[in-house]
Amino acid sequence: MSAGTTLNRGSEIPEPNMTRFLFADRRMAPVWLVFRIWLGYEWLHAAWGKWTEDGWVGKGAGGAVQGFAQGAMAQTGGEHPQVTGWYASFLENVVVPNAALFSYLVIFGETLVGLALILGAFTGIAAFFGVFMNASFLFAGTAGANPVMAIVGILLVLAWRVAGWWGLDRWLLPAIGVPGYPGTAFGGRRLRGADQSARVK
């Protein structure tokens, strides 16, 4: 579509140059590297605290999750409750009875997300699950660094094509491929030049 061409109803809206530069241009890779390392460190730091505390793994697994859930459920009262009723019900009926399982899901999830972000391995997927955990903590009435971490995580999801360029994704993504474009490990051909669906400069 050339400059100045009018969009017809039902036509595909092209990606603006600014968003393409921010989220799909390799020249932005060093910037996303900084955000990626910071966010990965935050997740690993949170996980390390849980690995070294009681109530997360081993015989006492689940104790910390139960305490966290009960504290969240206590915030459902008042004129402006911090925790919504449906989430409190989820905590009471799903999380608390399976506290040990959720304890391991949290600690391993934080560890894996942190490592993947620092290494730049499947960056978009790791950032997505990080945002999912941030949202879970926010629903439970816990703010702290979660809003900032969630924002950075969303930006990394949008920049998945280049956010891990200075990392393992430089080799993983061409080998694994993306939906509709199998990578070299699955018999697909390596995309080059104009053949790349999301070619970056």
Task: Dump pLDDT digits (tens) for 106-126.
Answer: 999 999 999 999 999 999 999
d(CA 29, CA 32) in angstroms, rounded, equals 5
d(CA 201, CA 148) in angstroms, rounded, equals 29
Say what the pLDDT of residue 2 is.
47
Say what the pLDDT of residue 123 is.
97
Say what the pLDDT of residue 120 is.
97
Residue with tokens 């994704």: 169
Q: CA geometry: angle at 17 spanning 160 and 5, to 5°?
A: 130
Mean pLDDT of the chain: 89
Residue with tokens 């899901």: 105
One-letter amino acid at 180 equals G
All structural domains of the chain with their residue ranges: 27-161, 168-201
d(CA 31, CA 24) in angstroms, rounded, equals 12
pLDDT along the chain (201 residues), means of 10: 58 86 96 98 96 91 94 87 93 96 96 98 97 96 93 98 96 88 77 43 42
